[in-house]
Amino acid sequence: MINSVIRVALVDDQALVRGALAALLALEPDIEVVGEAGSGDEVVALVERTRPDVVLMDVDMPGRDGIEVTGELVRAGTGIRVLIVTTFGRPGYLRRAMRAGAWGFVVKDTPARQLADMVRRVHSGLKVVDPALAADSFLAGESPLTPREADVLRAALAGGSVADIASAVFLSEGTVRNHLSSAIGKTQGRNRADAARIAQENGWL
Residue 135: pLDDT band (50, 70, 90) is: low
Tell me the whole-structure pTM to 2 decimals. 0.67
Q: What is the pLDDT of residues 94-119, one digit of tens each?
A: 888 888 999 999 888 888 888 999 99
Partners of 37 in beta bridges: 11
Q: Is 116 left (phi over 0), alpha (psi -120 to 50) or beta?
A: alpha
Is the Cβ–Cβ distance between 22 and 46 less than 8 Å?
no
Per-residue model confidence (pLDDT) at position 1? 37
**What does the alpha-carbon distance between residue 146 and residue 66 come to, in Å, rounded to a whole number?**
21
**Which of 103, 122, 114, 196 shows the shortest CA–CA distance to 153?**
196
What's the average model confidence in pLDDT over 4-14? 94
Residue % of the chain over a pLDDT of 90: 53
DSSP H helices, 142-191, are: 147-156, 162-169, 173-187
Domains defined along the chain, listed by start: 6-139 (3.40.50.2300), 147-201 (1.10.10.10)
Residues 6+ apart with CB under 8 A from 55: 8, 9, 10, 11, 43, 47, 73, 80, 81, 82, 83
Give every CB contact of residue 178 below 8 A, 6+ residues apart in sequence: none
For the cut 80, the answer to whether the pLDDT of residue 52 exceeds it is: yes
The whole-number pLDDT of residue 188 equals: 83
Q: Which whole number is the average pLDDT over 67-74? A: 93
2 pLDDT above the threshold of 80: no
Give bridge partners of residue 86 from the DSSP assignment.
Answer: 107
Report the phi/psi class of residue 28: left, alpha or beta, with left for phi > 0 and alpha for psi in -120 to 50: beta
- pLDDT category of residue 3 using cuts at 50, 70 and 90: low
In this predicted structure, the answer to whether residue 122 has a pLDDT above a threshold of 80 is yes
List, for residues 159-205, the tens digit of each pLDDT value: 889 999 999 899 999 999 999 999 898 888 889 988 988 888 777 87
